[in-house]
Amino acid sequence: MDIESLPPEVQFAYIATTKCAIMFKEMDYDKKLFLQFCDEIWNSMELTAVDELKSILQDKIKKDLEPYVKEYIKNSKKNERQ
């Protein structure tokens, strides 16, 4: 598969899914469980309005990343002063 020819969103999905597959393999889970996991994600997505799901995910991502972003900014400012 020529990943570079895919739209950026699909490239991201490919990379993220590959990362998840690697994590499953490292935890000794098999392909069948990984595919069931992906199927469950798809089924859950279809049960929720897409805009609502996007909002929920965006809020979760923001909440999870915020402490790291704040720490990065704090360290950047500290390094600038030195």
Contact 8, 16 (CB under 8 A): no
Task: Specify the 3-state DSSP secondary structure of 8.
Answer: helix
Tens of pLDDT along the chain (82 residues) come to 888 999 999 999 999 999 999 999 999 999 999 999 999 999 988 998 989 988 998 999 899 988 888 888 888 888 888 7
| pLDDT for the residue numbered 36 | 97
Query: What is the structure's pLDDT at 41?
Result: 92
- Domain segments of the chain as ranges: 1-47, 49-82
Which tokens sit at 67? 């402490």
Which residues are within 8 A (CB) of 1 and not within 5 positions of it... i.e. 6 or more apart? 14
